[in-house]
Each structure stands twice: as C-alpha cells, then as structure tokens.
Copies of this chain bind each other. A is one copy, B any other.
Amino acid sequence: MSNAHAPAPTSRREQILKEAARLFAERGFHGVGVDEIGAAVGISGPGLYRHFAGKDAMLAELLVGISERLLAGGRMRVEEGGESPAAVLDALIDGHIDFALDDRPLITLHDRELDRLREADRKRVRQLQRQYVELWVEVVRQVHAESAESEVRAAVHAVFGLLNSTPHLGRPGSLPGRPEMARLLHRLALGAFGAVDAEAAAGAGDGAVAARRAG
C-alpha cells in the first residue's frame, strides 16, 4: 500500500508474522482468514503460501519463536549473574515486562492459542515454557530460600499472569504511561514473591498481611 521502495529492514516473512500475530491476538486463530492476513501486508490470500506452508505454520513459528526468545533472554540474564540473586530476579522481571509491554499480541497468543498447534510443535512450546518457568523457580528460591518449591512454582505462574495482564487493560488515560507501568509491575511482582513465604499464623480473611505494611 504505502512503501513502494521499502528499504525493508524487515523481510517479508517477518512482516507477515507480525501482522498475523496482531490479527490472531485480536480475533483468535480460527477467527481470521488467510485473505485478511494477506490483505494486511498488501498481497492477497494465497500469496502467503510462497512464504509459509500454511496457516498453522505461521502460528507455530510465532509460538515457538516467542518461547525461544523468552527462554534465551532469561538464560542470558541468569548467566550474566547480577550482584545477588535478588538482582538477577530484578533482571528477569524487567526482561519479561519489556516483552509483555512491547509484544502484547505475542503475549496474548502465547497462552491463548497453544492448543491449536500440531502435537509436535505443542510439545516443543510446552517444553520451552517449562524450562523458562524452572529458570525463574530456581532464582526465586535463591531469594526466598525457606519457601516450598511447589509454592514457588505456583507463584511464578501467578506472577506471569500478573505481568501478562497488560493486554487486558482499557485503552484510555485512566492508566499510567509505559515507564510508570513498567516500574509498577516490577514492584507488584516483587511484592507478590515477597508474600510467598507463609507467615503461617495468618489465616484467610483477617487482613493480617494487608495490615503489616501499615505497621
């Protein structure tokens, strides 16, 4: 439509993947047709088959790609190893936040359309996800050593849910801007992890933990 002489820093494949991700996130994998994806990149319908084996292949490449990038980024930050486990955890959190804030459609797809994959791809994605989770679990356990592993694992899942909540936010100005949002999410994640360690005395429904921060 627009760029007739595009310097094309992004290949056609990547352009297609980006638009496909957006459309899949907006209307669901089954909800968007190949014609629409084609139209979004200026070609029409079956032209996509010059770049991908099929619609499924696009979704597979998106989900595998995102999972690999998440894991690779996490591994990198762990190996860099900060001054302390807490610093590594901070880095993990910031990395995930950047991802959630910058690649919303992918985050959405990541836990929404997994089951539309062929068995093999789904297994691969799940394996990558599991490794990513375990990466976090190890780091979190170094920061909160006295917590049970199963609770830490559940907490990691829950914090992912927290960090990945950004796509669900209403558009307008009733919410903080991107930098404030990043800092807020960081605080919330740390706050949640800090609450993993049971102050077992506190039963449910008495507001003990909420009261703590005022004390």
Contacts and interface: CB of A to CB of B under 8 A. Distances in A.
A23 to B, nearest CB: 12
A37 interface: no
A150 B155 CA distance: 25
A175 B158 contact: no
B150 A158 contact: no
Given A91-B205, A154-B176, A213 B187 contact: no
Interface string A147-191: 010110111011111111100111000111000111111111111
A116 interface: yes
Q: How many copies does the complex hold?
A: 2
* Category for how many chain A residues contact B: 35 or more
Interface in A121-156: 130, 143, 148, 150-151, 153-155
Interface stretch (A9-17, A46-54, A61-69, A194-202): A194-202
Given A28-B29, A162-B192, A207 B174 contact: no
A124 to B, nearest CB: 16
B165 A161 contact: yes
22 contacts: A27-B115, A28-B29, A28-B113, A29-B30, A30-B30, A86-B207, A87-B207, A90-B207, A90-B210, A148-B176, A150-B174, A158-B163, A160-B165, A160-B168, A161-B168, A182-B204, A187-B202, A187-B209, A189-B192, A192-B195, A194-B195, A194-B212
Interface of A: 26-31, 82, 84, 86-87, 89-91, 94, 111-113, 115-116, 130, 143, 148, 150-151, 153-155, 157-165, 168-170, 174-176, 180-198, 202, 204-207, 209-213
